[in-house]
Copies of this chain bind each other. A is one copy, B any other.
Amino acid sequence: MTPSRITIFGSGNLAWHLGQALFDAHYSISQVYSRNQANAEELAFQLGADAISSTEDFDDSCDVAIFAVSDNAIAELANKVNFSGQLVLHTSGSTSVEILKNNAQHYGVLYPLQTFSKFRPIEFRDIPLLIEANTPNNLVNLKGLASALSSKVIVADSYQRRQLHLSAVFANNFVNHMYTLAYELSKKTGLSFDILKPLIKETALKATLTDNPSIAQTGPAVRHNSEIIKKHIEMLCNQPEMQKIYTFVSESISKYHHTEHVS
């Protein structure tokens, strides 16, 4: 089977980017489902597909059905659909592949390890796609599909995927929160957040040039410079939330480097 006709469930950021990547790779998008018909229509229009907002309208002649919906919607939604032997995929980092087994015979996971914003274009070919399927045959088919979209296809089981999703929470969610706290602090100076942007870029670039980002660690905590740390903690006395994070992450940096990278 070479999958050719694909139905997408979902109309969020990932559904948009994945839909576009499939379209660009010359897959035919059969249907786009969203609870909200207008949302389904907006994306379906982009992809030359039909829009549906009821699972009963699912056209079971498609070869692949992809659930690009929020984690807690996958099972409920998938259980409402009458599949007829197509490959059924979800796109979640933290959800086991087995969540699809009740209702589908052929199933798997296609998890893109990236952060998506609807209107920010992204080079899909560079996105690592973690794949898993319930049979070797389905894995071969899924690999074909994934390889048409990205040059970085990695077979990963549910444990590996879950663990990488947790890594991504640190590398994206928590990093972005650190940016947000830095922004809050910079705001108090009356100077623009732009001043921090070259540092943000260089910090990320340095990490991507190493096999282990701990090598690039700098600052008072890794130097055990208790005088500066004390001063910083005093400066944060009116922001107890940030003060706690400062203290806590500094301790963690200090401990981590003290124990020579054994976490």
Contact = CB atoms under 8 A, between A and B. Distances in A.
B156 A185 contact: no
Contacts of A184: 263
A120 B206 contact: yes
A113 B193 CA distance: 12
Name which of A72, A189, A201 has the most chain B CB atoms within 10 A of its CB: A189
A156 B232 contact: no
A69 to B, nearest CB: 13
A176 B228 contact: no
A35 interface: no
Contacts of A148: none
Given A128-B195, A263-B241, A164 B186 contact: yes
Name which of A122, A166, A231 has the most chain B CB atoms within 10 A of its CB: A166
A256 interface: yes
A180 interface: yes
A252 B114 contact: no
A244 interface: yes
Interface residues of A, number: 95
Main secondary structure on A side of the interface with B: helix
Interface in A179-197: 179-186, 188-191, 193, 195-197
Contacts of A255: 241
Given A163-B189, A185-B163, A198-B126, A169 B232 contact: yes
A203 B115 contact: yes
Contacts of A156: 189, 191
Interface of A: 70-72, 94, 113-115, 117, 120, 122, 126-128, 130, 152, 154, 156, 159-160, 162-164, 166-186, 188-191, 193, 195-209, 211-214, 216-223, 225, 227-228, 231-232, 235-236, 239, 241-242, 244-246, 248-249, 252-253, 255-256, 263
